[in-house]
Amino acid sequence: MATDSIKDLFNDKVDPSKIDPEHYNKHPIQPINFIIANKLNFCEGNVIKYICRYKHKNGIEDLKKAKQYIDFLIDGGLWLKTDTSIGKIAAK
């Protein structure tokens, strides 16, 4: 089920300031919302996260992190599939 906000998933228990930093506010769609709506796995989600923030946070360091997760996907090193419920991760 797609949601408009990560906060909705946690029944208003999440402090938005902790998951809504300025380097992600530069985009019309929050990376976490995109990741959840598209049911991306851990590696895919991290690629999105690092690509979205590299210009506004850690520059080349974030691009290297994104590349590392892409390499994991290519090599099959961390094939993880997220369960439909939050917090459950199972091997694919």
3-state SS class at 48: helix
Across the range 16-30, mean pLDDT stands at 67
Helical H segments across the chain, by residue range? 6-9, 16-19, 31-37, 42-53, 60-75
Q: For 43, what's the count of Cα atoms within 13 Å in the CB-facing half-sphere?
A: 17
Position 86 pLDDT exceeds 80: no
Please say whether the beta carbons of 26 and 64 come within 8 A: no
Q: Chain-wide mean pLDDT for the chain?
A: 74
Position 63 pLDDT exceeds 70: yes
pLDDT of residue 42: 93
Domain ranges of the chain: 6-91
pLDDT of residue 19: 60
pLDDT of residue 84: 44
